[in-house]
Every structure is written in C-alpha cells, then in structure tokens.
Structure 1
C-alpha cells in the first residue's frame, strides 16, 4: 500500500513552457521570420538527452541548460544565442519564474493528499533556483523543507537511485510504499523504478520513452488524469 508520494517540480507542478516561451520572445521579436512555433522550440529543448546529472560543483546548472538551449536552436536551423542574448534570455526566464503557479486544481489535490500520505519533493538543479520555485508554488503549505531533496544540495541527481533511497530514509517508508510523480521518463521513471518505487509518468508533453526497458506503473497525459489517479489513491486510503 502506498504511504508516501513524492513529486518532481519542473513541468510537473507547473507549466514550464510558458516562462521559457516568454524568455524566447525577449530575444526574438514576435514577428521575426526566423522564429518557428515557440512550443516546438520548448519541446525540442525539453526532450534533449539529459545532462543535468553532471556534478554541479564543476558545471553550473545555467551553463548546462545554456548548452542545451543552443544545441536546440542549432538542431532547428536557428542561429544560436550570443552571450548577450543568453544573458537577456536568462534574465527574462528568471523573472518569469516569479510568476509561476500550480496547475489548476492542484491546490485542492494537495489538501487531500496531505491528510493521508507523507509528501516530498525530489528535483534536480541549484538550491537557490529550485527553492525559489517551490516557494513561489507555495508547496511548503503541504511539504516540510526537510522532505525536499535538491540535487545540488545533496550532491546526487536523478536518475541516480541513491537520491530516491535517501528520501526513503527521510520519510521512513519502504520503497514499495512510495510513489514518484514526474514528467521525465529518463530521469523520473527510470530513477524511481530502479530504486524500487512506484513511478507515475505525467507525460503531458506526449514524449516517447527513451530506451523504454522500464515501464511506468501509471502513465497520464494531462493534469486532469493525474488528479484522477491521485484522488483514487486517496479513496483507497480513506
């Protein structure tokens, strides 16, 4: 029986595409003939093979994502961003992150979940940036800070099963009693399943499995389906 549910942050609790697209528009003019559909750029960026697990003491998260961004632009036959354009992009993106909010109906969902389950967060990234997002999303209304694991802080990153095992110990539950909700097959599903957890894949970007040798326990394609899945767990727990 599931006793704890742990969540990813980026593009799982909020729509990551919107701040990304607004940051692109800060560099590209809306009527720029070079500019394809903004969502196409985001989807390509989002599906790039992950390199976030690189030791963040050696390479900053921003440098990693900058490399991914320029690789994405190049793959779409767009000019890569100059240092000045990259600075403008990241300034706009950081500003937009102060405006993010939970997917609709998630507030009511978390009100229900906290009554029956231990809750946590595992996220890759820098402590400063990820804590800022978590605070903006008001997740500390339901989740204790000690139950938030950020890769830079603990020097482990998804999909390493050790970061999931560390959360086991924090929540004092066995692997078979915990479920992870995330939007990335390569990071979230693979990491959670290798740690012995249940894995719920929130695949609202309709991405393909990469090296699909591991199967998610549940796959949902939109926030409504995710809410229905988690509310079913509440019903079982009542």
Structure 2
C-alpha cells in the first residue's frame, strides 16, 4: 500500500512550458529596447542556445548573453532581462486545474507528500511558495541538495530516507519518462507519468524491462490509482 507520494514540479504541478517562452521573449524585447545591438530573432536564438548549453536551472543566462555580445557583462541589460522575465513569469504562473484539489484529497487521506526536483533549492521553494503549495509537502528534495540529478537513484533514495518510508510504499509522479519514471522504478518505487505521452521507444523499453507504468492525463486521476 502506497504511503508516500512524490511529485516533480515543472509541467507536473503547473504549466511551465507555455509561459517560459513568453517570458524569455519579453525579456529579449526589453533588452533590445535598452540597447542590445541584435535583431530579435538573433538575440532569442542566442538565448536559447545559452539555455541549452547551461541548462534551464542556471541563473545567469542573461549575464552570458551580454558577455557574448559585448565581450563583457552589462549590468543594466542583465537586470532588465531578469526583472522582465520574472515579472512575466510570475504574472502567468498558474497551477494545472486539478493540482490543488488533488493535493488536498491526498493529504486528507493521510498520504505523506514530497517533491523530488532537478534544480536549485531556493528556486524550487520559490515556485512552490508563489503557487501556494509549500504547506502541502513534508519534504522537498532537489538535485542541488542531493548532489545528483534525476534519474540517478541517489536522489530518490535521499527523498525516501528523509520521508522515513520504504521504496515499495512510495510512488513518483512526473512528466518526464527518462528522469522521473525510470529513476523511480530503478530505485524500487512505483511511477506514474502525467501530462505526457509515451514514445514508441519508451513503450518498447517498458515492454522489454517488463515494467508497470501508469499513464494519466490529469492529476485528478491519482484518486483512482492510489
């Protein structure tokens, strides 16, 4: 019987993909208006390349951008980019429709709730606080704290240990098959894929390894599984 339910954050509890693009585009426009000597498409392409290179959790994308354009960091442009990005991001920050009701239901049923997330600890806490979700979770485990990222088993083991629960009585809910699902199963946990679909190669992997993976379209479906 499942006792602990762990969640990923981005694109699991709230929709990050749709607003991130809008926030980045707004930041680039603000920087160009303030003197960034690039056309929008060129600047946006460069920012995307930097994000891909450094990772989405890196917190100095705009620093790198100005340094590559000017040969040195430009504090004014960096600050404009960061503030515009965060203002737009937080204005658009929205939970998926059934996130709150599902968490309330799980807590009322006595489940222990936790987060396992790749990212910087402060940034992950900031997201949960702004979303009004931080009170729901007993433990928040990040890759920064663990020293490894999902799907490494050590981050899952750390989370289970902090929760004081056994792997076989824990489930991971996330939107990324390779990070959330495979990592959890390799640790002995159950796994549920949400807000995503399996590719053919992932289906073949599941069949080959004889894995049990539940796939749901909405967090509210957890009520029928747990």
Q: CA RMSD in A?
A: 3.6
| Aligned partner (choices 62, 83, 86) of residue 59 of structure 2 | 62
CA distance in 1, matches of 2:194, 2:200: 12
CA distance in 2, matches of 1:21, 1:51: 15
Q: Tell me the alpha carbon deviations over residues 7-62 of structure 1, each in whole angstroms, 9 at most, x when there is no partner.
A: 00111111112321212431369xx9969xxxxx9xx99xx79967xxxxxxx723
Match of 2:146 in 1: 154
1:177-188 to 2 correspondence within 5 Å? 177-188=169-180
Q: Is 1:227–2:209 an aligned residue pair?
A: no
Match of 2:101 in 1: 108
1:201/1:110 CA distance change after superposition, 3 Å = same
CA distance in 2, matches of 1:164, 1:209: 26
Report how many aligned residue pairs link the two structures: 197
1:169/1:15 CA distance change after superposition, 3 Å = same
Cα displacement (A) at 1:170: 1.6
1:151/1:113 CA distance change after superposition, 3 Å = same
Match of 2:9 in 1: 9
Classify the secondary structure of the residue corresponding to 2:59. helix
Match of 1:202 in 2: 194
Say if 2:175 and 2:194, in contact at 8 Å, map to a contact too: yes
Match of 2:135 in 1: 141
Normalising by structure 1, report the TM-score: 0.68
1:50/1:33 CA distance change after superposition, 3 Å = closer
Structure 2 regions of 5+ residues with no counterpart?
A: 31-38
Q: Is 1:176–2:148 an aligned residue pair?
A: no
| Aligned partner (choices 205, 215, 218) of residue 214 of structure 2 | 218
Q: Which has more helix, going by share of residues?
A: 2
Normalising by structure 2, report the TM-score: 0.71
Match of 2:185 in 1: 193
CA distance in 2, matches of 1:201, 1:216: 11
Whose Rg is larger?
Answer: 2
Structure 1 regions of 5+ residues with no counterpart?
A: 36-40, 53-59, 71-80
Say if 1:22 and 1:92, in contact at 8 Å, map to a contact too: no
1:34/1:157 CA distance change after superposition, 3 Å = closer
CA distance in 2, matches of 1:191, 1:213: 13
